[in-house]
Amino acid sequence: MTRIKVRLFGVEARSLGRSELELDLPQAAPTCADVRRAAAAAAPRLASWLAICRFAINHAFVDEAAAVGPGDEVALIGMVSGG
């Protein structure tokens, strides 16, 4: 089992009322795809947003196959609106 904390921002954070989601994943070496599935199961209110979110690990965008380690800073990045 791997415990992952996922940082939330913007509408995702507002929809859940918190800025972090803690997930226990059964995989010893989970990927972002595993984190996405676990987040949807743990927080169904996020499901519609998750479809358009990207993941960042340690402040860089990654793809779904990227491995997530216990010490990594994982962030869910939805639609951004800077400028």
Partner 1 sequence: MSIQVEILDGPLPADGGAWSYPGAGAVVGFDGVVRPQEGEGEIDGLRYQAYQPMAERELARLARAIVERFGVLAVRVAHSRGFVPAAGCSFRLRIAAAHRKEAIWAMDWFIDQLKRDVPIWKSAVDAVERAGAGRASQ
77 binds partner 1 (CB under 8 A): yes
Select from 1, 3, 59, 65 the one that contacts partner 1 (CB under 8 A). 59
The site that binds partner 1 (CB under 8 A) totals a number of residues, namely: 14
- Name the E strands within 34-83: 54-57, 60-62, 74-77
Cβ distance 9 to 28 under 8 Å? no
Minimum separation from the CB atom of position 64 to partner 1 (A): 17
For partner 1, which stretch binds (CB under 8 A), given 27-35, 36-44, 45-53, 74-82? 74-82
42 binds partner 1 (CB under 8 A): no
> Edge-to-edge, what's the strand order for the sheet holding 54-57?
20-25, 2-7, 74-77, 54-57, 60-62
